[in-house]
Structure 1
Amino acid sequence: MKIIKSNAVKASNSVGMLRMLDFGFILCFTLALILIAGASNSTADLFSQQSHGTIYYTSLSPANLTQTLNTTPVFTFISYSTTNSTYSCALYIDGTLHDENSSVQNNTETTLTVNGTLAPGDHTWYINCTDASGTYSSGTRTIGIGGNFSRCAILVDSGTYYLNDSIINSSIPSCINITANNVVLDCQGNTIDGNETTSYGIVMSGIVISRDLEELTNITIRNCTVTGWGGRAIYLRNADGNTLENLVVESESYLATVIYLLHSDNNSLSNISLSNLSMSENGIKLEESDYNNLTDITIIGSKYGVNIYYSDHTILKNVKVINNTNYDIYYFTKVNFMDCHSQFINVTGTDNKPIVFFNSSVHIQNWNNNVSEIILCGADYSTIDNLTMNHTDKKNNGLILIATKYTNITNSVFANLYRGIYLGYNVYYPMYNKFANITVTDCDVGILLRYACSNTFENITIANITSYGIYIDYTSHNNVFDKITVKNSEGIYFYNNLNNNFTNLRAENNTYGIYIIRSNSNTITNSTILGNSKYGIYIDSSSSNYIYNNLLNNSVNINFTGTIYQNNWNTTKQLGTNIYTNYYT
């Protein structure tokens, strides 16, 4: 699903107004290498240009390290002199004069050409311009001729290219940048290796296909090993109809998305292995990218193995995603987009068990720890009864209900998972899901509700949770929680919630009993909140909550912070059993 075509405005590498004072002479160069074979100028911003002496160059297009199949490229530049209105400029390739023009005009595009043809391989080139004050060089750059290369490169012509040797420890932000369409890049088993660094404002990428507007690019990348990139090993942006095959990718860089497709449709990814991803955010991320096929993929040890984000009609076939920290597969959409038309065929997750995906009503009963992850997307009117999910290899995955309504989950156990139950993204539409007789233990988060309205939870036991037992944000409109027990966790967390009702709650031996932040008009009643190490109830900038007939016995029962608004408490003595510690609400 394309939500919005938020194409980033290309950053300019312009270094501003050139300043060079030498006997009253100022010479500004704007250089461009323009190739006859229709090369795109969009590569100018991909390599940062350095100053040479006192001259600064902008708008180099294409940039240094261009690789072209054209043996007779032309060189075009714009220059300016405050001393002369007319002066001479010359093109040197490999130190040999190839062409010159003795009547170059200020601010006028000038073209110089190759004398004959250039042989395959790398060549150095520069422009010298001379006026009354002296000769000023553009600085030396490299251009490669032919389809064979062994360094970082910009591939500017349609055709086939071969990487003949490995590239090791590169610090160039986009090592292989493919600006032409209808290209085949065959690495022949060689490695494209980065130096594992990230720079502020610069995303390091091994292989890049990026366009300003979405288009059919028809590029094949095959037989490559890509390692050591601090941002993305392979990045496709606005690039449709490409093939990535026979790839080995490793990344130990913090927060890297290893293979990232953004606004890119109808791509085929096959026979790809991703490993050593312990610091990576995503193995493969599809963002607003539809109709992509992932076949024969292995992803081990990222934070999210495959992240399918606002992307529809994805086919995963023979995919193995195991021991990823949070989710082997994370699936995200909202009810107003309903990107739920994907297919999972023979997808295996942690514990070497299936990951199953349902987008229509399904009946699951008596499944005893036989799946790694369950995803329901738009699977309204489903039932799950007597389900057990309990991981042994890795505490990850869980049950995901995304944009799913009228579903009943009963008599089930969720243990040793990342999130026991994740329910969300019906925005403000009611969901009417029911959860009853559920046990969640030894997970990172017990139950997470996000943009999840009008659901019912009854007879729920949550214990031994690393983070919050129940985490609720942006959730409202009469979610009902009755007979809920939360023990040995961070507690129950409310953020930006309205009109949720808790009755007969027992919050015991947590860090916080209930943590309420910017949440209004919720009700907590007839509940026991005791033994929580910091606060029984913690209220931050929240108002109009009804908190009454509860027993509290904590080191600090109530704490207010932020803006203190009015909340409603019962303060008159009630008939019945006394509330011990003389504190009641």
Structure 2
Amino acid sequence: MDRRTQGAVILSLLIIVSVAPGVVSTSGTSIQAADPTVLDSCTVVTEPGSYVLDADIETATAGVCIEIRADDVVFDGQNNLLDGLRPPTQAGLTIGIRVTNATNVTVRNVRLAEWDDGIAFDNSSNGVVSGLVAEETGAAISATNSTNVSVGESSLRDGGVAISFDQVRGGEIADVFARNNSISGITLDQSRRVAIRNVTAIANTSFGPMFFRRRPAALGIGISDSRNVTVTGVNVTENIGGVSMTNTTDSEITDCTASRNGFGIRLVRSSDETLDGCTLTENDLGLAVVQSRRVNVTEFTVESNELGIDLFVSENVSVAESTVTDSSRVGLVVERADYNEFRDVTVEGTTAESALDGISAGILLDNATRNEFTNAAVSDNENWAVFAVQGGTNVFEQSVFGTMRFSFRLRNVALDAADAESAPENDPVESVVPLEVAATQPDSVLNVTLREPLGAANETVTSDETETPDSEGDTEAEETTTTESGPDTERETTDTSNG
């Protein structure tokens, strides 16, 4: 065969491959004929190719209706229905479509109802689901011990779990609507490198009491024992719990909205997490960080929750550039939590409609030590701006209370901004320090550095007397003193009690 003939043969082969329709495998060779295989009943797929469902399959009695055991398969339901029997009439799970030990399988445009599992991937890779509508199904989509599984553009409702990933390595869940599922919207367990984006999870609830620091019965999105998970652009509304991460690391939640849930976002025993740009409104608890460390929270808007933010037994948590407003119990709780940092945080408008352990305040420091607040703004909170009890020393640097900017160190002290009009009329000083202080423990300490009132200059500032119980249980009044170093310098005030 001369070179001209060889070139003609090669060119002909290239033309044939380029125009041949069908699915192409990863090797680049054609693996199917032009026309898809038409299915009208439950079956087992053992060959690569394209398959279409051309009619509904109703009240299927098979344990598994469509079983896919081949690589490089596309199953298109053409919006037809696979309807099972639930509860099943036989022992074992009923499954609408099962993909087992297969690679490059796509399932799209199908409706599923009344299965234990709608679509199940087991020990498979590169699976894709899109255009699924599932109702009254135990788990609409599940993937177990699989790699690179992607779910998109699906509506999953009125079942048990919308999507369940267990031991999945790599994948994406995007543009999914999960509503009214009794267990959870989306769950990830022992998985890594999974992205969840543009998901709406609404009214995934079940009966039973909800406790802030225990795993609830139903979640919008629940992630456990996983790492490198990203959650972005999600909306979780009216679930028992919004977004929960338990035993996770190196993960993030960004640009999310959580409203009218038992809690908006909760982290439990997690580390090295990033939370950014979320809005939490009208939840029982906005943000909970429990037994976690190295968590960075930035640009959060936490509004009209019972409790705004709760740090419990956590350390090295940073909350920055965030606002906590109109909480009905406490705005910010730091309980048994040490070495945390709060920067440019606003806590205002706590209404004290109810109390937490008998306390209502903008900021509650309960058995907390060495937490630092920088440039905090605390105002218009009923009862107390800051209530510290049973703890060590905490520091506020250049923080605004009412009309004054203070830097202070406190231990077991409650304080609040007072009205300037509360100064005695015959007081020879121009004004008093607009601050109310009370001891919460016998060893209370408050060291204060004052700056000028906001919007004013060159005013003399002093403070009221503070009553502090002594170690014998009596009350000892100590006068707070002020030293002034000049019109442009800070004025230092120190108030210490016994101990």
Q: TM-score w.r.t. structure 2 length? A: 0.49
Higher strand share: 2
